[in-house]
Amino acid sequence: MAKSFFCAPSPSISFKFREASFDLLTDCLVNLNKRNKDNLNSLSKCSGNFKDKRLMEYIFLMTKKLRLDPLAGYHAVELLQRFMVKHLTDLLTTPTPQGAAADQPESYEDAVFDKLKEKFPLIVFSCVQLASKLFLHSQIIDNNTAVRFLHSVGHSVSKQTVLESELMVLKGLEYRLNAPNPLTYVEILLEVLGHNEPSIPVEQLYELSHHVLQFVSLQRTAIYGSLLETTTQCVNPSREQREKFVTVTEDCMLLGVGVIAVATFILCVRTLEQVVGELSHITGISARSISDFANVTLMHVVETSSSVTPT
């Protein structure tokens, strides 16, 4: 098994808790909950397809190298998922050009994927670049930085090409960049948790939650696969069960409370029941669902840790 991959949050980034008013926290939580539900109600059959472990690791490494806020990395993943689903749908539903061989129906699709394969690294970078511009406290990637970085990783492109790619992604997203971001959910939930229960060390949980969220993101397939088996009580869930489970895999609110529960177990297991109960009260997600998510994740943390060969 590949070694564990963790990127610590940038030391220049700080998050101050216990300063937001109750009204502001309430508005933020209501807004996040609405966005999460809207997203779950409009999922496509391809949801999650572009959250592959290697792809997410690539984006996390890029974010770290460019010294961006970790929020930018998670947001870039969401932008990439939305853009690629729409872009591929548009490309593959376009009528086959005249002249395409009628006896080779797959040739057009092959050509589309071959062309997309060439552009894909730049598309991924464009999503990171757009995400960097959404957070005012984060370093923004301008075109000079973009060209230098891409050259350093073996992609020789011009500023014009970088700009065209960024505009293509922006137009493909219909200029809607405000996608649900799992790290934002973790941050707001911790803020509300600290407001409701001042004794809970949310500052320490925040730092640890970064690592847990990254672990869950990189082990996404395995963790949600185990959670599906736990939920259905079936070793080989049916296709219908897997399709319905997509609403679980894309639920940012569940992911947020699950990550905080795991971080709490690692930091101070004695407070786990209290934290899970409060998270359930805040979000309306059952304590059982939160505990199931935490237990499955912790199982994979232990398995991954035990598989790493000591040096």
What is the set of domains in the chain, with CATH numbers?
A: 46-172 (1.10.472), 182-307 (no CATH)
Q: pLDDT value at position 42?
A: 86
96 has a pLDDT exceeding 70 = no
* Percent residues over pLDDT 90 in the chain: 61
Question: Residue 307: what pLDDT?
Answer: 64
Q: Which of 39-43, 102-106, 129-133 has the lowest mean pLDDT?
A: 102-106
Q: What is the mean pLDDT of the chain?
A: 86
d(CA 86, CA 94): 12
Q: What is the pLDDT of residues 189-221, one digit of tens each?
A: 999 999 999 999 999 999 999 999 999 999 999
Return the higher-pLDDT residue of 219 and 112: 219
DSSP states along 28-86? HHHHHHHHHHHHHHT--TTTTTT--HHHHHHHHHHHHHTT--HHHHHHHHHHHHHHHHH
pLDDT (0 to 100) of residue 1: 31
Find the angle CA(265)-CA(268)-CA(270) to the nearest 5 degrees.
Answer: 90
CA angle 241, 216, 58 (to 5 degrees): 110
What pTM does this model have? 0.86
pLDDT in tens, 228-264: 999 998 888 888 899 899 999 999 999 999 999 999 9
Nearest to 162, CA basis, from 174, 150, 177: 150
The torsion region of residue 20 among left (phi > 0), alpha (psi -120 to 50) and beta comes to beta
67: left (phi over 0), alpha (psi -120 to 50) or beta: left
pLDDT the model gives residue 7: 46
pLDDT given at position 95? 64
Please state the rounded mean pLDDT for residues 78-91.
89
Tokens standing for residue 234: 């079936």
